[in-house]
Amino acid sequence: MGRYVARRLLQMVPVFIGSTLLIFLMVNVMGDPIAGLCGERACDPATAAQLKREFGLDKPLWQQYATYMGNLFTGDFGTAFNGQKVTELMGSAFPVTIRLTVVAILFEILIGVTLGVLTGLRRGRPVDTGVLLGTLVVISVPTFVTGLLLQLLLGIKWQWISPSVRYGSFDELIVPGLVLASVSLAYVTRLTRTSIAENKRSDYVRTAVAKGLPRHRVIVRHLLRNSLIPVVTFIGADIGALMGGAIVTERIFNIHGVGFQLYQGILRQNTQTVVGFVTVLVLVFLVANLLVDLLYAVLDPRIRYA
């Protein structure tokens, strides 16, 4: 196991460097970041040259990337064009988005897996048909429609919740977390249902039933553990997607998280902010994939990493 983890960590190094390089290049071709720093009018040549020297934008692109990576390993993600450290923006944005992602993942696990198990065990029955139709509707409706509808009904019309998030506490993030997880929750339900229905007909399940094992033990210990492998893969990959793809949800509920900062950085062509936040999201993706691979051995005893 230790060798496998070490090998995977070494494999993550070129992936991380390649991803950050691609992100750095894409962000730097969006346009001239200095153009919007002088207000509505364009900067005069002397001011533009001074600003480029100040932020290191007068150097070749490869040298800017080398400087950025060198500073990155010392914990310096650079300075935004407004003079604020990117790490300060991360310190205020990531805790909120992490709480929002935790709420969304809990909804996926508790609701999605539960509905998937129930429908997989009762395939072809009315409850199965109803859940399939419901998940199809959720997948078909865009997230911004779901978010605005829940905000209108629960926040404005019925006043059960606050229409906008103020402090980012867990109780305020329940409805935004449900909106963020809605599409993924539907996919988790369908994926669990299909996996349960397929494994239910497997030989090891029939053998466990023939041995006279209790039904709940057959379902939890034998059927569910093997059926959760594709679900765990999806949820693991979805962690980074939820954190980076929460722009719409955070805009609807006025959450100043990672999505909000990315939106502001792209809008203002603030390269340091965008590259810094996306770099951390790349690390989240890599770590989540590693943890998913390690969970395979926990769920399926036949999987061993030598």
> What is residue 17's predicted lDDT score, i.e. its pLDDT?
87
The answer to the question of residue 101 being in a domain is yes
The answer to the question of residue 110 being in a domain is yes
SS3 content of the chain, % helix, strand, coil (to 5): 75, 0, 25
Q: Are residues 125 and 264 in the same domain?
A: yes
Q: Are residues 98 and 62 in the same domain?
A: no
Instruction: Examine the pLDDT at 37 and tell me if it is beyond 80.
Output: no
> What is residue 96's predicted lDDT score, i.e. its pLDDT?
92
DSSP 85: B
CA distance 45 to 53: 12
Q: Are residues 43 and 172 in the same domain?
A: no
The answer to the question of residue 5 being in a domain is no
Q: Are residues 265 and 149 in the same domain?
A: yes
| Most confident stretch, 30-34, 35-39, 149-153 | 149-153
Question: The pTM is what?
Answer: 0.84
> What is residue 300's predicted lDDT score, i.e. its pLDDT?
67
Q: Are residues 198 and 252 in the same domain?
A: yes
Query: pLDDT by residue (tens digit) across 156-189?
Result: 888 888 888 888 788 889 999 999 999 999 999 9
Instruction: Examine the pLDDT at 127 and tell me if it is beyond 80.
Output: yes
Containing structural domain, residue 105? 89-269
What confidence tier does 35 reach under pLDDT thresholds 50, 70, 90?
Answer: low
> What is residue 1's predicted lDDT score, i.e. its pLDDT?
66
Q: Are residues 161 and 255 in the same domain?
A: yes
The answer to the question of residue 57 being in a domain is yes
**How many folded domains does the chain comprise?**
2
Q: What percent of the chain has pLDDT over 90?
A: 21
Q: Which residue has tokens 């959450």?
A: 255
On whether the CB atoms of residues 117 and 224 are closer than 8 A, the answer is: yes
Which of residues 160 and 270 earns the better pLDDT score?
Answer: 160
The answer to the question of residue 277 being in a domain is no
CA distance readout (Å), 288 to 113, 128, 234, 291:
19, 31, 11, 5
Burial class (CB in 10 A: 0-12, 13-18, 19+), 256: middle
The answer to the question of residue 48 being in a domain is yes
Q: Are residues 50 and 98 in the same domain?
A: no
| Residue at which a domain ends, from 237, 252, 269 | 269
CA distance 197 to 220: 14
The answer to the question of residue 72 being in a domain is yes
Q: Are residues 262 and 136 in the same domain?
A: yes
Q: Which residue has tokens 């051995």?
A: 297
Indicate which CATH number applies to the domain containing 169.
1.10.3720.10
Mean pLDDT for 56-72 is 81
What confidence tier does 136 reach under pLDDT thresholds 50, 70, 90?
Answer: very high
Q: What percent of the chain has pLDDT over 70?
A: 92
Mean pLDDT for 228-243 is 86
What confidence tier does 26 reach under pLDDT thresholds 50, 70, 90?
Answer: confident
Neighbours of 260 (CB within 10 A): 19
